[in-house]
Structures are given as C-alpha cells and as structure tokens.
Amino acid sequence: MKRLLFLLLLLVLLSGISTLQAQEMVRPKSGDGIESLLRRHNRQGAQYRKEFLELNKGKFGKNNSLILERNYLLPPIHGNAGKPVAPSATLSSSVSKKGYEPLFGKKEANYEITSSELRGATFYLVSGHGGPDPGAIGKMDKHELHEDEYAYDIVLRLAKSLLSKGATVHIIIQDALDGIRDDRILKNSKRETCMGKAIPLKQTERLKQRSDKINEIYRKSPKGYSRAIFIHIDSRSKHKQTDVFFYHSSSAASTRLANTMKKTFAQKYSTHQPGRGFTGTVSERRLYVLRNTLPVGVYVELGNIQNPFDQRRIVMKDNRQALAKWIAEAFVADYKQSGLKK
C-alpha cells in the first residue's frame, strides 16, 4: 500500500514539473509592451494576449504596462504556432497573422499582418511635442488645432500600416487613452509620455529624452534596417500654404530616405490630384533629434497649421490616413533600395 501511495505521489510531482517546464518565464526589455514581448517569443494574436494577462494577473503597471525587472509567464505555444512563416512579398490568407496594439484604441487595436514587405525592418515613430507642450496651435472657426494631437494620430495610423507589412515598430511618444481618432477637431490633453516617462517642458530636455529612449532600444535590438521618423506640423503666416516637406541629416541614407519620401508624395499627388503639382522640399538640417539618434532619421513637416488649405490636410481623417499610408509606402521603397531587405 505504501509503495502504491509513493508511486501516485511521484506521478503527481512529475506532472507538476512537466507543467512548470511548459510555462516559459521571461523578462521584458526596455520599451516592451505586451505585444512586442509576445511577438519576440513567437506568440501573436488576441488569444495569446488574453492568456498572458490571465497568467500574470497583478504583475502589470497602469493600462497593463510591463514592469522592467519583473518576470512574466508565457502561455504555451498552440499547435503549429510560433513556426516561422516563409518570407514572401504577400502573405496568403491561410498564413495571415493577427496582432493587437492597445495604443490604437479599442476599435482599432486589432490589426492583420497582410504582407512581409517590411519583414526585418525596425521603426521608431515620434510625434512632435506632447505632454505639457502642445506645439504649434492653429485656429479653425472657434476651435484650436494642436500640433501634438494631429501628429500623434498620424503616427498611430503609420504604426498600424507598418505593422501590417511585417515591421517591428516602437511608438516613442504615447497616450494611453486617445487611440486612433476620426474626429475633425482632436481634443488636447497633456497625458502623452515618452514610453511611460513624463515629458519635460524644457525643449532640450524633451528632445534629449526621446533621443535617449530611441538609442536605448536601438542598442538592444538586432542590427539591420532601422529608421526613425519625427512628425511635426509647422506654423507660419496664415496666408502661407505649404506642401509636406522633409529634413534629413548629413548621412547618405538619411538623404536618400528624405528624397524617396518626396518622390513618393509627388507621385501620389500626380495620381490623385493631376495638374496640381507638388512643391514639397527636401533639405539638410542640423536638428537635435537627427544628430543625436543612432538609427537613420527623417524629419517631416506636414504643412502650415495656420493655413486653411493645409488645415484640411490634417483635420480630415481620410487625409490623415493617406499621409500615413504614403509615408509607409515610402519606407517600403527605401527598404528595397537599402540593400538590407531580408
């Protein structure tokens, strides 16, 4: 009888050990969200996210943010999940993957990876200003248009487009509540953070903070095609209408990227508004963020927030979506030209 009880106890213990071995323990890297952590460990999709949250109840920060230096249990891989998909220009529907990014908001959080055009590419997306600094402010009727809100909405749309093409994306400036918005007038807030850290009001400190965060993530990431984009909206005389224009650093790669973006925009205007022409410019500028970030960077000004015609470029949701889509297409073209495409 004692022997039988011993064997039963041994079986229970072995079963427990097997279960523990199946649940892998990991620690997040700086800049990780739940999606990037799960993606790195070949677990993508809403079901993995749900299981991860259940397994790690009570171990998260605000809005289910990950806490550095804390260990998290990974859900077991389901069936054939986690096996690498053979690269191709377009993924068939049978191997299409789904992702989830809460920063996009409840309605837009789910996205589908529909191609591998940007597989192996990494992007650092920065919307200008934020937190205590709204940036440029324009007037439309009785409403104020705040630069940081419109730049952020376009960054989120760009992030979703890049993710759908298989890229790795780091959204540096974040607002836990806004998400992608379709309103014409985007309400201002001071909630924006630099990946969870309060944004300083002083300009040099603000620029250093976001540059340092990009460099911190970059140093820990696999090397390859990496690009940083800084999105702003200019402020000039109300009567000065401008097209989108681009600044680059002194590097050849940054110069090529800026020119590729200009060429892409010129082609899009030629298609969608034939005869209008495109007068956007490309020039070198010794801007702090272009000089002090390690990835190749480009700085984009989307227009003049004071000008009524330029305002239509940012207040209409379809126009914001088009801007994001065209920038993403320019990145695809630059990736192909870089010789770094996997």
Q: Which CATH number do you get for residue 251?
A: 3.40.630.40
- Lowest average pLDDT, out of 116-120, 273-277, 294-298, 320-324, goes to 273-277
Q: Is the domain of 316 the same as that of 179? A: yes
Between 339 and 122, name the one with better pLDDT: 122
Last residue of one domain, picked from the residues 84, 119, 134: 84
Question: Which residues in 8-52 belong to E strands, given as ranges?
Answer: 25-26
Residue 7 domain-assigned (yes or no): no
For residue 269, being part of any structural domain is answered with: yes
Distance between CA 292 and CA 311 in Å, rounded?
Answer: 31
Check whether 139 has a pLDDT greater than 90: yes
Whether 5 has a pLDDT exceeding 90, the answer reads no
Residue 294, pLDDT above cutoff 80: yes
Model confidence pTM above 0.85: no
Q: Is 12 within a domain?
A: no
Q: Is residue 233 part of a domain?
A: yes
Q: With respect to residue 93, please indicate whether it lies within any of the assigned structural domains.
A: no
Residue 245: its pLDDT value, please?
Answer: 97
Q: Judge whether residue 32 has pLDDT over 50.
A: yes
Looking at residue 2, its pLDDT comes to: 53
Q: CA quadruple 198, 199, 205, 206: dihedral positive or negative?
A: positive
Residue 72 shares a structural domain with residue 136: no
Q: Look at residue 202 and tell me if it is in a domain.
A: yes
- Contact (CB, 8 A) for 250 and 284: yes
pLDDT cut 70: percent of the chain above it: 87
- How many angstroms separate the CA atoms of 31 and 111, rounded? 20
Lowest-pLDDT choice from 218-222, 303-307, 322-326, 332-336: 218-222
Q: What is the rounded CA–CA span in Å between residue 182 and residue 168?
A: 25
| Same domain (yes/no): 113, 71 | no
Contacts of 210 (CB under 8 A, 6+ apart): 126, 172, 173, 194, 289
> In terms of residue numbers, what domain contains 172?
105-338
180 shares a domain with 114:
yes
pLDDT at 38: 85
Number of domains in the chain: 2
Which one has a higher pLDDT value, 65 or 226? 226
Banded model confidence at residue 341, pLDDT cuts 50, 70, 90: confident
Mapping DSSP onto H, E and C, the string for 278-319 reads CCCCEEECCCHHHHHCCCEEEEEEEEECCCHHHHHHHHCHHH
182: pLDDT strictly greater than 60: yes
Is residue 78 very low, low, confident or very high in pLDDT (cuts 50, 70, 90)?
Answer: low
Which of 279, 236, 280, 261 lies closest to 324, judged by CA?
261
Q: Mean pLDDT, to the nearest integer, of 168-181? A: 96
